[in-house]
Structure 1
Amino acid sequence: MSSLPKRIIKETERLVSDPVPGISAIPHDDNLRYFDVAIQGPSGSPYEDGTFKLELYLPDDYPMCAPKVRFLTKIYHPNIDKLGRICLDVLKNNWSPALQIRTILLSIQALLGAPNPDDPLANEVAEEWKSNEALAIATAKSWTEQFAKEGD
């Protein structure tokens, strides 16, 4: 196994010993830079009661550059596209080496609770969110029901 930077080891240990409520991040046995992530939809959001699977990868130059994170569970959200890519400032231009895996996962969970159609990645979803929010939320709920329920 390749040696991991102390920083990654520390963050991983903390994720395991002091997990974030509603979020789990488990490193792959064969590559500790890859994490299987599960995020529970925040209560009061259209994603409530859903568990969303994501993959998180720490590139070689982490923490100088942001982790790569992608939704594996299909989700109807203006800031997450069909490929599961996430439009989130802390994963792009607002990344700072002071941030950690847990900070990123909390930001993603917060994004589920507060979709931002003004900074969209999925344009049609954002358009619907702006023109008919009730319908967009209903679609988000039905996708959550369909794709993000445990035991599927």
Structure 2
Amino acid sequence: MSTPARKRLMRDFKRLQHDPPAGISGAPYDNNIMLWNAVIFGSIFIAVLMTLLGMESTRPKLRRITILGPLMLIVIIAGAIVRNVVKRAIGAILGTFKLTLQFSEDYPNKPPTVRFISRMFHPNIYADGSICLDILQNQWSPIYDVAAILTSIQSLLCDPNPNSPANSEAARMFSEHKREYNRKVREIVEQSWTAD
């Protein structure tokens, strides 16, 4: 039986296949158009990378400056920066995060229930994986399709809102101890590489 919700989800799926947003993938699960699996890929954590680049400088010791010439100094500085940036950023760039979208027959008049399957540490994601995002709650509109939902989640991951926390520990760390927050996010990203 083809209901309005199912027809709309088929349109959303075709649109997502034809013109997928960067860093996002999604499809119905096991031929059930009402249940989708989706993946958001690591470019969402580019904000963490930018924070790392801005917060943590890597300078060679002053003693090296007096011993080596200017050209060698440039090589040492560049090497130190590249080594540390690559080491710290590789995980932030390559994470893969899985989520599910459960639709009701009221879609698109009501939003889906969206939940991360992957372990997350983020100010706006609850421990059970559900997401505190206005368009999935009080700001929902039938004009949003699956691509818009996933893109909004991707944006939220890149730009957390610590003033509306679902995870108070992550919000506090994000606001007060960014280095510690970034370390924890990196750990979880690295775990995502081996998670099923």
Same fold (TM over 0.5): yes
Residue 32 of structure 2 aligns with which residue? 31
- Number of corresponding residues: 150
- Relative to the length of structure 2, the TM-score reads 0.72
Identity rate, percent: 39
Give yes or no for the alignment of 1:99 onto 2:144: yes
Q: Secondary structure at the match of 2:164?
A: coil
Bigger Rg over Cα: 2
5+ residue gaps in structure 2? 49-91
| Partner deviation per Cα, 1:96-144 (whole Å, 9 max, x = no partner) | 0111111010000011111111110011111122221111111111111
Which one has the bigger helix percentage? 2
Structure 2 matches for 1:64-143, cutoff 5 A?
64-143=109-188
Structure 2 matches for 1:24-63, cutoff 5 A?
24-41=25-42, 42=44, 44-46=46-48, 47-63=92-108
1-side partners of 2:8 and 2:30: how far apart? Answer: 18
Residue 193 of structure 2 aligns with which residue? 149
Q: Which runs of 4+ in 1 moved over 3 A?
A: none
Q: Taking structure 1 as reference, are residues 151 and 143 closer, same or farther at Cα in structure 2, changes over 3 Å only? A: closer
1-side partners of 2:3 and 2:23: how far apart? Answer: 27
In the TM superposition, residue 150 of structure 1 has moved relative to its aligned partner by 5.9
| Partner deviation per Cα, 1:34-92 (whole Å, 9 max, x = no partner) | 11100013252344310100001111101111111100000110101110010101100
Residue 21 of structure 2 aligns with which residue? 20
5+ residue gaps in structure 1? none
